[in-house]
Every structure is written in C-alpha cells, then in structure tokens.
Amino acid sequence: MSLYVVKFGGSSVGNIARIKLAASIVAKLVESDDRKVVVVTSAMHGVTNYLIDLVRSVYDSTNHREYDAIISSGEQVAAGLISAELCATGYPAMSLNGWQIPIYAAGNHSNASITGINISKIMNAIKNGIIPVITGFQGLSENCDMMTLGRGGSDATACSIAYAIGADECLIYTDVNGVYTADPRIVLNAKRLDEISYDEMLELSYCGAKVLQSRSVLIAMRCNVRIRVLSSFTDTGGTVVTDKKTMISIPNERHVSGIAHNLNLARGIISGISEDCIITLLEKIGQVDLLTISDDVISFLFQKSQLNEIKNILKDSKKYEIINDIGLVTVVGGGFKTDQSILLSVIGIINNMQLSVKQISVTENTISVIISMHHVENLVNKLHTKFF
C-alpha cells in the first residue's frame, strides 16, 4: 500500500466543475495500485479575498481572533463539497476541519505555524476505507482559537500532514503543470523543471514564485517530504521537489535556476526608530533579508496587505516613508558571491534598460533588485532571455 497526500489550490477548486474534476483525480489515484489518499484543500478561488473584504467592511481587522475565525471558513466549504462529490461517486469520504483533527498552531494570528498534528482520526479514516478531506490553512491555538497559517498556508498543512502520517509523496495540484524558470504567465518561453532542490525551491518561493508557499518548502526540506507539483487540468509534466541538487553538476558552481518576481510588496524607510519598534517590525516583516540598517535609517520590505499594521507600528517614529510603487525581481541559483559574473550580467541588463534601482541585495544564492513595479515584467523577460 502506498500513501499520498493530495492538496488542491484555490484555482483547482474554483467552481463546481473543478470540484468534480478534483474528486475525479482523487478517485483515479485511489483506483491505482491500491493507493490510500488524504486530501487537503484550499478555499475556492476568490473566496478568501471575498471574506477579507467582508471583514474590512465591518472593522479595520485589528481584532485578529475574529479575523482568523472569518477568513478560515472558506476551506470548510471546499472540503465539504469535495467530500460530498466523492461520496456521490462511490468513494466514501469525510470532511474534517483543522480543529477536529486537531492541527495545533502557535504564533501570531493570520501567520501562525503548525506545532503538532494528532493523526489518529486521519489514520482511523484510512483504515476504515474513508478518504479524509482536510481543510488547509487552519490551526488550533492552545486556547482553542482558530488560527490561520498565512496566504498559501494550505501547502504547509499538506506538507505537515504528509510528514506526520509518513506519506510516500505530497502531490500539490495547481493551475500550472510544475515549477518553471520564471512565471509562464509573463515569460512565454519559460521552461518547466523536471526536478528542483529544496534549497532552490525555497529561494524561488520566498522571492515571489507562487507555486508553493515558502514555509511549506521549509517543512518539506526539514522533514524530507517529497513534493510533486502538478496541474489539475493536464496529465503532462510535473516537477519533483526533493533534496537532490539537480541544477548543479559541480558543487558550488555558479548557475541560475530561475527568475522570481513579487509585485505585492511595499518598502518602508524609517529614521529615529526605537529598539522595541525594530523588534516589533522584525516580527511582522516577511522579507528580512532585504532589511538594511545604516546609521539612523532602516529600509525594509513588507507585504502590501500589512500596510495598516505597519503604519500603526510606525506612528510614533520621528520620520518614515512608505513606497508602494515597487517590484522585487530575484535571480535564484548559486555561487553568486564566489563568481560575480552573474551579478555583472544583471547590472549590465539594468543599465541597458536605464532602470532606476531602489536597492540591490546579493547573497550566495540570490541577486534581488527593487525597481519600479512598471518595469518588472520587462526586466524578468530580459533576465530570462540572458540566462535561459
């Protein structure tokens, strides 16, 4: 017997037709080679954003407990629909909320981390021939409050469950048939990767690639969970994410594995900030690798969705500026500090395009550039043409 965790993203369960398609994928897996399947689902496409808008129409979302209680409800609908469709087509299934398992979480509301999973209910369902259909994105605090795991958190749910139950593989179904060298929606000749290492996938996810949540990749890497990214809409392709170093033939050789971009960031520039304020910011900022401190000035990136929260933290600062019209473009690979030829190529392209660079950051595995958001798509295409 082989054991699989199958996760469906919002686009894969976006309407009833796609719910039926997702259920048929599960059914096909169950019928193949005596496979046992555990399903994890996101909310239907657009539902979480709708719920967020509802919350903001009532209050400013500073009541984090109720915010999480509301926006986590979309996954329950999707899980119930998938389970109902499976039952209707002859495959016994049971929807389970995160609190029913339970999946424990800790940290901040809206960005909590999974701390433990009681697998007995999942394993009992499998033993009795029932397909568990589990809500992603949800966790239960020590006070029995609902906590959510950040956008894309259903990926973290799937990888954590896969590790907890000893699954052979975690299949992530989305609207693209694998991981690409760049976003195929803006780079028409982007290349699909058959395999990619955890390290490379983590960098791509962290820097804006939307295929997998970065935290889920970190869980998979630490727990050695084999991930396969697949499309719900085609039977071809797919990318395996493992610990195998697929993009390098010689250790530490310079290489480029992909180009990531992110248009959902804003930049904060602060002067005259207290140590307590810095600590609070560090708890909120996602892109800490692009935080710079020079004399009395701090520059950092944060998610645009955090704008009101960041402004509230900074309200007592002597001076601060928020810049919304930016984009982050990142070249991901390796050996960038030991051999700077990749960096020189990036700078050459930027100069030829006569772009105004707000900030550039170089690590061994990434070269990140902050520019005006209006030039991001063009720069990504230029970089992709150069390196691929």
User: Could you please report the per-residue DSSP string of 273-299?
Assistant: --HHHHHHHHHH-SEEEEEEEETTEEE
Residue 206 — φ and ψ, nearest 5°?
A: -65, -30
Q: In terms of domains, do 85 and 162 share one?
A: yes
For residue 19, give the nearest of 123, 70, 89, 96 by alpha carbon. 89
Q: Residues near 350 by Cβ (< 8 Å), separated by ≥ 6?
A: 357, 369, 371, 379
Question: Which of 118, 148, 174 is the last residue before a domain boundary?
Answer: 174
**Residue 57 located in a structural domain:** yes
- Domain of residue 276, residue span: 265-323
Please state whether the predicted TM-score (pTM) of the whole model is above 0.75: yes
Quick check: helix, strand or coil at residue 37? Answer: strand
Bridge partner list, 258 = 332
Structure tokens belonging to residue 272: 């005259």
**Residue 146 located in a structural domain:** yes
Read off the amino acid at residue 67. Y
**Residue 331 located in a structural domain:** yes
Q: Residues near 358 by Cβ (< 8 Å), separated by ≥ 6?
A: 267, 323, 326, 370, 371
Residue-wise DSSP of 105-129: EESSTTS-EEEEE--HHHHHHHHTT
Q: In terms of domains, do 307 and 337 share one?
A: no
Read off the amino acid at residue 4. Y
**Residue 234 located in a structural domain:** no
pLDDT of residue 318: 65
For residue 217, give the nearest of 192, 200, 194 by alpha carbon. 200
Asked if residue 251 lies in contact with residue 204, where contact means CB atoms within 8 angstroms, the answer is no
| C-alpha distances out from residue 34 to 31, 37, 129, 183, 195, Å | 6, 10, 11, 36, 26
**Residue 383 belongs to domain with CATH number:** 3.30.70.260
Question: How do 93-96 and 131-135 pair as beta strands?
Answer: parallel
Q: In terms of domains, do 29 and 148 share one?
A: yes
Full strand arrangement of the beta sheet holding 169-174: 93-96, 131-135, 35-41, 2-8, 169-174, 227-231, 239-242, 195-197
Q: What is the mean pLDDT of each run of 10 residues along the chain (388 residues)?
A: 94 96 96 90 95 84 83 97 98 97 93 95 96 97 94 94 97 94 94 91 90 93 95 89 59 74 89 71 61 75 81 74 92 87 94 93 91 96 95
Q: In terms of domains, do 307 and 375 share one?
A: no
**Residues for the chain: how many in total?**
388
Domains identified in the chain, total number = 3
Q: In terms of domains, do 157 and 275 share one?
A: no
pLDDT of residue 249: 40
For residue 118, give the nearest of 105, 131, 127 by alpha carbon. 105
**Residue 296 located in a structural domain:** yes
Secondary structure element (H or E) that encloses residue 228, with its range: strand 227-231
Residue 82 — φ and ψ, nearest 5°?
A: -65, -45
**Residue 213 located in a structural domain:** no
